[in-house]
Copies of this chain bind each other. A is one copy, B any other.
Amino acid sequence: MQQLMVEIPQRQYPIFVADGLLADTQQLRRILQQYIPGRQVAIVTNDVVAPIYLDVVVAALDGLQVDVMQMADGEAEKNLQVYQQTMDFLLNARHNRSTCLLALGGGVVGDLCGFVAATFQRGVDFIQIPTTLLAQVDSSVGGKTAVNHPQGKNMIGAFHQPVAVLADTATLATLPAREYAAGLAEVVKYGVIEDADFFEFLEQHSEELLAKDGAVLSEVILRCCTIKADVVSADERERGKRAILNYGHTFGHGIEKLCGYGQWLHGEAVAIGMVMAAQLSTQVAGLEESVVRRLIALLTRLGLPTELDRASRQVVTVDAMMDVMGLDKKVVDGRLRFIVASELGQVQVRDDIEAGIVRDVLNRC
């Protein structure tokens, strides 16, 4: 088992990464009971993950009051209504301020459970057990929690760090191919924004990644979490550097929103968004065309889309994108903010890009 400490001002928490972590009840119990502050635990999970992993987690929590909130699967469930249902559930089961929430599932479960933990009785502890690649390399690190609003993704939320994260690479074996690939999009993002060597590593190991090779996956998850933890440690509240983690996301969120959440997986929309951001980078940051081609090639090899399909182009028009991006959180005082790359591993936050250039790039994509 490998361990990474995430250092946040005034606080730190561990990320445990291992192959088969959930299968070892003794070890799981030892880790969990170290981070649960009281005698109550509420597991938030969904109806896809629960049949596979709920029993083993519950077995590791013997002696505690354990209640289970089981959501339906899917991004559409990440809304204020399910948030309220979870609050009702906790209060009906008489959970108090020393309870501990446990998010068992992917990013939707983690984001929703985290936001409940951030705001239940003004904040309680929570532990993340991410079971998707996307959650393991992205949403379980950094303390961003949220639910969606019809007007936009993650519009309602809070910063709330978990007390521990447990990532078991074996859970990826049961992950559908499309969701697995979507997680790889965020993996590629880390290479683009911070680490050209890592990007190259991914190019060289794309076969092992597609085969879900345990050793390569552990290496990749730790590398991604390390990069993200460094960025987050420097800027927990997203006042500055943290914004680079949103590379490809301004476009990606626009695509998700216009097509309706659920049409594209988040990682798929980010993959297309990263290509758009790379095209923009060639216009405003001097990125070489060859890097765009390498990015498209790598994403394609990993089973990801790099442009909109015909049906999506009907709704993701240039005008619609410009309009919907105006509502995105990354807007500062009416100026669109974009993350652009000057070379692999080197990005910058820019709010001086003219709308006309963005429109041109969208037109070409």
List chain A positions with a Cβ less than 8 A from chain B.
9-10, 38-40, 80, 84, 87-88, 91-92, 94, 96-98, 115, 118-123, 144-146, 149, 151-152, 154-159, 237-238, 326-327, 329-334
Q: If A38-B333, A96-B331, A158-B158 touch, does A149 touch B87 (CB 8 Å cutoff)?
A: yes
Contact of A94 among B98, B237, B327, B332 (CB under 8 A): B327
Could you tell me if A119 and B87 are in contact, using CB atoms closer than 8 angstroms? no
Q: If A38-B333, A91-B327, A97-B331 touch, does A122 touch B157 (CB 8 Å cutoff)?
A: yes
Closest 7 CB pairs of A and B: A91-B151, A122-B157, A96-B331, A121-B329, A38-B333, A119-B158, A97-B329
Highest count of chain B CB atoms <10 Å: which of A121, A329, A333: A121
Tell me the minimal C-beta distance from A153 to chain B in angstroms: 11
Could you tell me if B119 and A157 are in contact, using CB atoms closer than 8 angstroms? yes
Tell me the minimal C-beta distance from A41 to chain B in angstroms: 13
* Closest partner residue, chain B, to A116 (CB atom): B156
Could you jot down 21 A-B contacts, CB within 8 Å? A38-B332, A80-B84, A87-B149, A91-B151, A91-B155, A91-B327, A92-B151, A96-B334, A97-B330, A115-B119, A119-B119, A119-B156, A119-B158, A121-B155, A121-B157, A122-B144, A122-B145, A122-B154, A122-B159, A122-B329, A123-B158
Tell me the minimal C-beta distance from A227 to chain B in angstroms: 21
Tell me the minimal C-beta distance from A162 to chain B in angstroms: 16
Docked complex Cα distance between A157 and B123 (Å): 8
Docked complex Cα distance between A121 and B155 (Å): 5
Could you tell me if A87 and B327 are in contact, using CB atoms closer than 8 angstroms? no
Could you tell me if B152 and A122 are in contact, using CB atoms closer than 8 angstroms? no
Could you tell me if A94 and B326 are in contact, using CB atoms closer than 8 angstroms? yes
Q: Which residues of B contact A149 (CB under 8 A)?
A: 87-88, 91
Tell me the minimal C-beta distance from A22 to chain B in angstroms: 27
Tell me the minimal C-beta distance from A328 to chain B in angstroms: 8
Q: Which residues of B contact A144 (CB under 8 A)?
A: 122
